Amino acid sequence: MIKKWYHYSYFLLLAYPCLALICGDCILDTSEQCDDCNLQSRDGCSSQCTVERGYICPYNGAKSLCTERCGDGINIRGMHKCDDGNTKSGDGCSATCEVEEGYRCVGYGIGTCEEICDGKLKGWLECDEKTQCCIAC
């Protein structure tokens, strides 16, 4: 009985695609930004099938796979080691949201990474050279 209903509803979907736009059914319809096969919000794809703030949700042909976006200054579930609001390496937080060598990052968002006083000049601390003259480090 279930199989007959499934085949019938699949036929209706093919014959009348405007009738069956259902969020959460694993089918990315034209009115949906994402569809992750559920109606739960706060997982990247909302209960209305829109991409939630701080996520990207590429569709792989079977469902939307939502992950946190790197470089937007938001770290919702702590997936990234840092997120300084850009995808530029060399500023303490890499393009892949990893803490770079010689830096420490506290919290999330723009301006959260700073050079550590380690005797290596990277361009931020004026006194950080071979002799560590930084008193404040």
Percent of the chain with pLDDT over 70: 68
Of the given ranges (27-41, 70-84, 87-101), which has the lowest mean pLDDT?
Answer: 70-84
Mean pLDDT within 60-70: 93
Which are the contacts of 78, defined by CB distance < 8 A and separation ≥ 6? none
Looking at the predicted structure, is the pLDDT value of residue 2 above 50?
no
Which pLDDT belongs to residue 54?
Answer: 92
Which pLDDT belongs to residue 84?
Answer: 87
- pLDDT tens per residue, range 107-124: 766 667 888 877 666 665
Burial profile 103-117: b = 16 or more Cβ within 10 angstroms, e = fewer: bebeebeeebbebbb
The count of other CB atoms within 10 Å of the CB of residue 7 is 10
- pLDDT tens per residue, range 80-102: 888 888 999 988 899 999 999 88
